[in-house]
Amino acid sequence: MKLLLTLTAAGAMTLVGMQASAAPGAADAAGLGKTLTPLGAERAGSKDGEIPEWTGGLCQAPAGYKPHSADGGTPYVDPFASEKPLFSITAANVDKYADKLDDGQKELFKRFPKTYRMEVYPTHRTACFPDWVYENTIKRVMSPKLVGDGPGLVDAHAQIPFPIPSTGQEALYNFFARYFPVYYSGDYEAWLVDSAGNKTLSTHGQLQYYVDYWDNSKTKSNQMYAISNLHVGPASQAGEMDMRIQWTRMDEREPTAWFYTPGQRRVRLAPEFKYDTVVTSNSGIFLWDETNGFDGKMDRFDFKLVGKKELYVPYNVYKYLNTPIDQLLQKDHVNPDNVRYELHRVWVVEATLKPGARHVDSKKVFFLDEDSWDMVGYEGFDHANKLVRVQWFPVWQAYDVPAPMNNNQLIYDFVKQNWALGSFGVGEGFHKRGPLPANYFTADALATRGVQ
């Protein structure tokens, strides 16, 4: 289609030298909030009607919503509980839908033809954000820029910086800068299922987020976000803590990480928490720069904005969120009875390893939801161009925020033949919270929390 061809040509230019970043044209910018949604998605539905028009999203909680926490969060009422699947995709009919499946889904059908399937439901474009998020993004659309190697983000705050992206790096920065409450917390578990079907608790953690970039009372910030993670289980990890800060000017300042070891009562810098270092606390099934799909600097890869594609992705997954973990964990893959798939438009970004750069991956492919800029899928390829790891990030509209959220992951390692359920909310799950102390995300405060 014309849009895809135009964006592919624009993306190809990003492979020559350092990526430049420029404001969108006035005519394109004028479409925000009109032919485009305020965050840059196509407002219109698809020609065949399978993807509907965006009409504002799901902004209010359905009747009966009673979260565990006074701050909101789980359990979410499923507004689509009465819907039945339109059809099922199985190994028998996968070829019919191949053009709307990513390579990871095709690989699962190939490996597990008797048990893997996808239940496809009607598409609902539920993405809804606070009005001021829309207003900031539209009125400041001409300001943001990417600079230097890394790159760094300047002249952007409390907005989606590039709602009309022209490069792969701009699209990825929209993902980095996706809307989040300023203070957010989560109680979660991650589980590994090995090739024999054995289930192991990888980690039970408690996350605290501080997203200074989205503090609308400020006019600028030098941080994208800060995260502190306390491990409360299993016993081998209990008391360990890690903390990370992602800066806006990554061309000037490396992402910073610290680690607290309870046995030594010591905080140390953790410069290894980046690139292709394995995340050992999650059973080694993904790399640090695969956290949430992508994390850290973009300096080792060339990023190409391929364009848009219609894909079946896990979306409006309220049933999945409310399913006990042991019912999700099947031997080779997630229980297909509990995952809802819908057809959505996604931005496709392809990252190719730069000549001379070192990384275990030669190529990465990212799929970004057009309505929210959430990462919905990721693929990692080795130096033989073989697909080795994939992730999907099931999306639900957190109508209490309001914003689409996708804190958890479905991760598959095709080399070790393991799969994992990552960051799945337990207890009070993920929700907004009150302010944290001003010094919370400092090494001294991390050490103090460890002693306590």
Task: Render pLDDT for 268-289 as a digit per residue (tens, 0 to 9).
Answer: 999 999 999 999 988 899 999 9
Phi-psi domain of 206 (left: phi exceeds 0; alpha: psi -120 through 50; beta: other): beta
Give me the mean pLDDT over the 297-324 stretch: 98
* Helices and strands per DSSP (H, E), number in the chain: 8, 19
- pLDDT, tens digit, for every residue of 235-247? 999 999 999 999 9
Tokens 């390829």 locate to 381
- What integer pLDDT is reported at residue 2 of this predicted model? 34
Residues 31, 335 contacting (CB under 8 angstroms): no
Residues 333, 108 contacting (CB under 8 angstroms): yes
- Interacting residues of 202 by C-beta distance below 8 A, sequence separation 6+: 190, 191, 192, 281, 282, 283, 285, 420, 422
- pLDDT, tens digit, for every residue of 137-160? 999 999 999 999 999 999 999 999
Q: What is the DSSP string of 161-202?
A: S-SS--SHHHHHHHHHT----SEEEEEEEEEEE-TT--EEEE
| Cis upstream peptide for 336 (omega within 30°) | no
Structure tokens at 18: 């350092």
- What integer pLDDT is reported at residue 281 of this predicted model? 87
Mean pLDDT of all residues belonging to the chain: 95
Give me the mean pLDDT over the 419-432 stretch: 97
Residue 348 β-bridge partners: 307, 367
The sign one gets for the Cα dihedral 215, 218, 223, 229 is negative
pLDDT at residue 209 is higher than 50: yes
- Rounded distance, CA 286 to CA 196, Å? 19
- Rounded distance, CA 88 to CA 95, Å? 13
% of the chain residues with pLDDT over 90: 93
pLDDT at residue 9 is higher than 50: no
- Rounded distance, CA 394 to CA 392, Å? 6
pLDDT at residue 452 is higher than 90: no
Instruction: Please provide the distance, in angstroms rounded to a whole number, between the alpha carbons at the two ends of the chain.
Output: 59
What is the SS3 assignment for 350?
strand
Whole-structure pTM value:
0.94
Residues 95, 106 contacting (CB under 8 angstroms): no
- Rounded distance, CA 239 to CA 231, Å? 6
Instruction: Supply angle C-alpha 24, 28, 33, rounded to 5.
Output: 115
Residues 170, 409 contacting (CB under 8 angstroms): no
Amino acid at site 141: V
Tokens 């008391």 locate to 239
- pLDDT, tens digit, for every residue of 12-57? 333 333 445 678 988 899 999 999 999 999 999 999 999 999 999 9
Residues 325, 426 contacting (CB under 8 angstroms): yes
- Rounded distance, CA 44 to CA 34, Å? 10
Give me the mean pLDDT over the 47-74 stretch: 98
Residues 148, 228 contacting (CB under 8 angstroms): no
pLDDT at residue 111 is higher than 90: yes
Structure tokens at 168: 């792969």
C-beta atoms surrounding 122 within 10 Å: 15
Residues 291, 422 contacting (CB under 8 angstroms): no
Structure tokens at 46: 């698809």
- What integer pLDDT is reported at residue 115 of this predicted model? 99
- What integer pLDDT is reported at residue 20 of this predicted model? 56
Residue that wins the pLDDT comparison between 401 and 15: 401
